[in-house]
Amino acid sequence: MRLLLVEDNRALLKSLKKGFEEEGFAVDAAGDGEEGRFLAEANDYDVVVLDLMLPKVDGLTILRGLRKAGNPAHVLILTARDTPENKVRGLNAGADDYLTKPFGFEELLARVRALLRRKYRVKNPLLTVADLEIDTAARRVRRGDEEVLLRPKEYAVLEYLAHRAGRVIPRSEIWEHLYDWQDESTSNIIDVFISRLRKKIDHPPLRPLIRTVRGAGYILKGD
């Protein structure tokens, strides 16, 4: 899943970026409001984690601009402004969640994952397609009675397909949600991960779940 961090504290920004990347997220990071607004408007993010007190352009201005433009990204405000008035102002401006500093990374991660479930309209962190089970909280995968060990990008591709099970997803769309804007990989890398996933979750005698729709993309389908 693709995440944008907008935070002017460089040490915190670096720490959060590393933490989310270790959890399998593709992360873009901006150290001021001007850069953050540009990235938020130019890319399709699943979640934006947004500070309010930013140089050049403040967080509320960014948020209001995104909502005025109809940007659907879920926005979590992460700020030291902890008064009820500030929380109400942020939520009324279009934020989906509000977390005050200081905070624990595990809580922030849980809130981001909750926003992802809301985006994909699922309540249960356990995704199932036929006999395939994906625990999005623990990032564990099972096919039938067998646990499947996946590398981070393999898991990310599978989770993205599972959130859209039954729909054909273009290779380029998968790539856009799994890689940050600085990555030099091409969308063809997705074919590599699909091949690896098939060897791990679709090997004989199991019924194939990942299918190729020629000229269109991939679909994860149980029936």
Among residues of the chain, what percentage have pLDDT more than 70? 97
CB 142, CB 132: distance < 8 Å: yes
pLDDT beyond 80 at 180: no
Task: Report the sign of the C-alpha dihedral through residues 12, 60, 81, 47, in that order.
Answer: negative
CATH class assigned to 126-220: mainly alpha
| pLDDT number for residue 182 | 66
| pLDDT number for residue 124 | 84
183: confidence class by pLDDT, cuts 50, 70, 90: low
CB 46, CB 27: distance < 8 Å: no
2-119 against 126-220: fold identical:
no
10-19, 130-139, 180-189: the lowest-pLDDT one? 180-189
**Of 116, 137, 115, 113, residue with least CA distance to 126:** 137
> Would you kindly state where each structural domain of the chain is located, as residue ranges?
2-119, 126-220
| pLDDT number for residue 12 | 96
Please name the CATH architecture into which domain 2-119 falls.
3-Layer(aba) Sandwich (3.40)
Number of H helices, E strands in the chain: 8, 11
Residues 105-137 have pLDDT tens digits of 999 999 999 999 888 888 888 999 999 999 988
User: Up-side HSE of residue 89: CA atoms within 13 Å toward CB?
Assistant: 11
| pLDDT number for residue 64 | 96
Q: How far apart are CA 135 and CA 115, in angstroms?
A: 16
| pLDDT number for residue 4 | 97
